[in-house]
Amino acid sequence: MLKPKGKQQAPVRALGTMSGTSLDGVDAAVVETDGETIFGFGESGYREYSAGERAVLRAGLGRWPGEEGVAAATEVVQAAHLDIMSGFEDIEIAGFHGQTLAHEPRGRGTHQVGDGAALARALGVPVVWDFRSTDVRLGGEGAPLAPFFHFACARWIGAEKPLCFLNLGGVGNVTYVDPSKATPEAEGALLAFDTGPANAPINDLMQERRGQPYDRDGALAAGGEVVAGALELFLDDPYFSRMPPKSLDRNAFAEMVTLVRELGDADAAATLTGMSAAAVLRGMEHCPRPPERLLVTGGGRKNPVLMEMMAVALDCPVVPVEDVGLDGDMLEAQAFAHLAVRVARGMATSCPSTTGVRMAVGGGEISRGWRVVGEAR
């Protein structure tokens, strides 16, 4: 498995999964990669969480190992991942991110639920998992982890000038990529950090007020107005003045919903959407050079109100990643397929400019079905 081919590493079919903080479901996607170069993208799939499963996961948010709600959330995550991963064939290795319940890199650490060893036994292929813990132990934020894949994507699309990838999931994160650098670890190749809350507060508002999981097509926000006072209070948070790398827990800005508590539904949705856009705009100020374009992935790219708010305020094109031939629904899952191969081949998955870790590090464990071998470096 994953044997070298001469001086070159042979590409393999790797399966990656992602269950994000939006709590919508599990994405799964295949990438053909040697851990450095993307050779092609394979099939993909999506397994939506039911309303009941989402409720269980919500109840587990902010919980740490052994606390109430964690075991039930783990069961949901495990069953959903096994369900969708079982449908893929000819997979040589899998990357399993699990579900983040709590993230406190400067405190208790980071907590993703899910058992990669059990998945490896059930699927019969090696599974790489627990990607974040080693980075946190070595002083890193443990997030974001997709930047090394973004570097490979920039090469795959033939980018020559610096550009940014913006993922708008529950939390937003941005990666500045200079594709002229030799490797993702090279000085100046990457800068990555969480911009702030993205879809999570909007989703929570919709669930609370409308019983809906999200604001489809930004329809509710489109009918409202952004309340400037609430937006200004939001931007006063000290997080926005911190230098990157930096990361957030899903519930780090839970007070956002409080700031719009007295507003009508449409104005509340518009204001939360404006906050998400403003967080990105503040984050873009940290780019070493103005990017040629901002490529948007994640569910937020489907919200035309959010996309327009960013487009009118930035000096570069703001477009979904589909404009360059990538799949914005699957990019995070594809990232963990790519990272799984990097871990298995002893390559770095994060570095000081992406997570603030002290040195380039490859984090994760490999479970081969019958035993777990620590691969953290």
The span from the first CA to the last CA of the chain, in angstroms, equals 20
Of 320, 359, 376, the residue nearest 128 (C-alpha): 376
107 three-state secondary structure = coil
Q: What is the C-alpha separation between 96 and 73, in angstroms, rounded?
A: 16
Residues 6+ apart with CB under 8 A from 24: 48, 49, 54, 213, 214, 299
Q: What is the C-alpha separation between 173 and 18, in angstroms, rounded?
A: 15
The per-residue pLDDT string of the chain (377 residues; one tens digit each, 9 = 90 and over) reads 455 444 457 999 999 999 998 889 999 999 999 999 999 999 999 999 999 999 999 999 999 999 999 999 999 999 999 999 999 999 999 999 999 999 999 889 999 999 999 999 999 999 999 999 999 999 999 999 999 999 999 999 999 999 999 999 989 999 999 999 999 999 999 999 999 999 999 999 999 999 999 999 999 999 999 999 999 999 999 999 999 999 988 888 888 888 999 999 999 999 999 999 999 999 999 999 999 999 999 999 999 999 999 999 999 999 999 999 999 999 999 999 999 999 999 999 999 999 999 999 998 999 996 433 333 33
200 three-state secondary structure = helix
Q: What is the C-alpha separation between 167 and 295, in angstroms, rounded?
A: 9
Domains and CATH numbers, the chain: 4-144+330-374 (3.30.420.40), 161-324 (3.30.420.40)
- Do 81 and 60 touch, CB atoms closer than 8 A? no
The rounded Cα 181 to chain-centroid distance in angstroms is 23
CA-CA distances (angstroms) from residue 118 to 76, 124, 227?
A: 14, 10, 49
Neighbouring-strand partners of residue 357: none
What value, to the nearest 5°, has the Cα angle with vertex 8 and ends 7 and 12? 145
